[in-house]
Each structure stands twice: as C-alpha cells, then as structure tokens.
Amino acid sequence: AQKVTQTQTSISVVEKTTVTMDCVYETRDSSYFLFWYKQTASGEIVFLIRQDSYKKENATVGHYSLNFQKPKSSIGLIITATQIEDSAVYFCAMRDMNYNQGKLIFGQGTKLSIKP
C-alpha cells in the first residue's frame, strides 16, 4: 500500500539559513514519483519540485533541492537561503508509475516559519 509520512509538525528557522524537511514513503512499485508542494497562508497549494525514483541525481529547482535516499525510502526537501515568504506548509506526495491508476497521496505536512 502507498503511504507518505511527515513527522515534523512545525519548524522555525532564522531568515537566510538552510532548512531540511523530512519525508518517508512506502510503495510496492519499483518506479514512482515524489513531489513537494507548498501551501501559502492564503491557502493556495502549488507544485515545487519532483524526484523520479529511477534517477540517481537529486532534483534542484531554484533554491529548492531534494535529498533522495532510495534505500531509506526518504525524500527530504532542502531550502537554502530562506526568505520570509518561504513561510508556509510543505507537503510531500507520491504517485506510483505502474499501480493505482494515477492515485496521488500526500503526507501530513510540515509548517515552516521563517523568522527575521
């Protein structure tokens, strides 16, 4: 069965520092896709970055990067040079390639607060 778990309920860091948010997942599929989404204070949910399970290189987009550790079923989100506007709730999500017909499931979310 698919499962995505985020155990960090909230994190607070000082502006311009680096933060890492954790996520672990379960799947029976050998190929799958992992995503991170951001929910802003207004409630809007937007896509940030994706990791393909068959790629060894960690994905990077702007100041977002991923720490993909396949043997540990772990996909961490790293935000460097954090800004106040990075304050939001971050969700990890997963889709199998071969099973579950497009089912996309999310973790519980981590609330990130950036302090000046």
Partner 1 sequence: EAAVTQSPRNKVTVTGGNVTLSCRQTNSHNYMYWYRQDTGHGLRLIHYSYGAGNLQIGDVPDGYKATRTTQEDFFLLLELASPSQTSLYFCASSETGANTEVFFGKGTRLTVV
Residues 8-67 that bind partner 1 (CB under 8 A): 9, 32-33, 35, 43-47, 50, 52
Which of 16, 28, 70, 103 contacts partner 1 by CB under 8 A? 103
Candidate segments 10-18, 57-65, 76-84, 91-99, binder of partner 1 by CB under 8 A: 91-99
Contact 1, 102 (CB under 8 A): no
Which of 22, 24, 87, 106 contacts partner 1 by CB under 8 A? 106
Q: What CA–CA distance (Å, rounded) separates 68 from 87?
A: 23
CB under 8 Å to 5, separation ≥6 — which residues? 23, 24, 25, 107, 108
What residues line the site for partner 1 (CB under 8 A)? 6, 9, 32-33, 35, 43-47, 50, 52, 91, 93, 95-97, 101-109
